[in-house]
Amino acid sequence: MKGPWVGLGISLGFSAMVVGCSEPSATPLADSAPADMAMIASSEPISVDGSSTVYPITAEMAERFKQEKPNSPKIETTFSGTGGGFQKFCAGETDISDASRPISQNEMAECKANGVEYVELPVAFDALTVVVNEDNTWAQEITLQELKALWKSDSGIVSWNQIRSDWPDEPIVLYGPGEDSGTFDYFSEVVVGEDGASRNDYIASEDDNELVLGVKENPNALGYFGFAYYRDAEASLNALAIDSGSGPIDPSGETIRSGEYQPLARPLFIYANVEKVDNNPALGAFIEFYMANARTVVDDVGYEPLPNEAYTIAMDHFINKKVGSVFDGKARPDLTIEELLEKEAAF
């Protein structure tokens, strides 16, 4: 049976929009719902924290929602990393948690212990992008095994020629997200092979803009972060093609959609607190607006929209309060997003 969220008004316009096209388009923003504006205007402020990778999507969505419904309450958006965001979310301190990886088993247990039920909503694809300075003339591509050797916890690589002998005998300066970041977790899991097993002698930040600036300013730098941050700075950065065994593949919308950029292509998420949605009409209306306009906004921000079917399934999960996660607490680059969404959720 559908819960009280249906009263917030899932419009037929959303279904028509997601079924009608398969590529990003300049579709006008869809109205989120014919919810009672008086109820929305009198609602509590909405709080969002979590991933710096997802932050640009949510911040843009909040701005557009406010333009659409100027009497709606404030939407407070910030980022403390996926892990930091889940700490607050599972303590009941925030309404929405932005995440660049699925919720972990430990975080699921923490939410359950605190009675925090949630709906998991994938909103975009990201290509985790490995970048070097624009003056780097020697590295155009790198293998997954070379990345593992560089970033594993006991790595002794400190200069470029230790990766390849024909690269220069120059110190390599590493930049990457901090340990509270979902990007750090995902990279460690799929590149190094173990969650949290990355080396720690690198320049870390939860703010991807700081990582971009660091690589831009150091000719010997190498770093990694989300695709949208690279696209914003690609005039002064070079993205390395990644060879996972079938030849080097550049990060792009096409290689994300085709699956060629695996395992560094990944879904991005928001997690919604069920009880808070029930008690806050503005929160429900904002999430409906978010999902109805995800394709347009995700493309505008610089990430890759999900397939239409994925947005349709995710909206159905929201309407029907499908509580829990379908990811078993880990990355699943072996399955399509549609296959994952059809799995039974665990809580």
pLDDT tens-place string over residues 149-174: 999 999 999 999 999 999 999 999 99
Residue 67 identity (one-letter amino acid): Q
Q: What are 213's two structure tokens?
A: 């600036």
Percent of the residues in the chain that have a pLDDT greater than 70, as a whole number:
84
CA 5 – CA 190 distance, rounded (Å): 37
* pLDDT 10s digits, 175-191: 999 988 888 988 998 99
Query: Among 243, 213, 218, which residue's Cα sits nearest to residue 160?
Result: 218
List of E strands, the chain = 46-50, 75-77, 96-99, 118-127, 129-133, 141-143, 173-177, 203-205, 221-225, 237-239, 241-243, 248-249, 265-273
| Residue 31: pLDDT over 70 | no
Quickly state the pLDDT bin for 57 (edges 50, 70, 90): very high
Residue (of 285, 320, 345, 280) closest to 102 by Cα position:
345
Please give the pLDDT value at position 338.
59
Residue 180, SS3 per DSSP:
coil
What's the pLDDT tens digit per position in 251-304?
998 898 888 998 999 889 999 999 999 999 999 999 999 999 999 999 999 889
Say if pTM beats, i.e. exceeds, 0.85: no
Residue 218 has pLDDT above 90, yes or no: yes
Instruction: For residue 52, list its beta bridge partners.
Output: none
The angle subtended at Cα 168 by Cα 164 and Cα 174, nearest 5°, is 80
Q: Tell me the CA distances in angstroms from 301 to 125, 129, 246, one per residue in order.
A: 12, 16, 30
Question: Which single residue is written with the structure tokens 């009941």?
Answer: 92
Residue 323: strand pairing partners: 119
User: How far is Cα 305 from Cα 296, in angstroms, rounded to an integer?
Assistant: 8
Highest mean pLDDT among 61-65, 67-71, 194-198, 265-269: 61-65
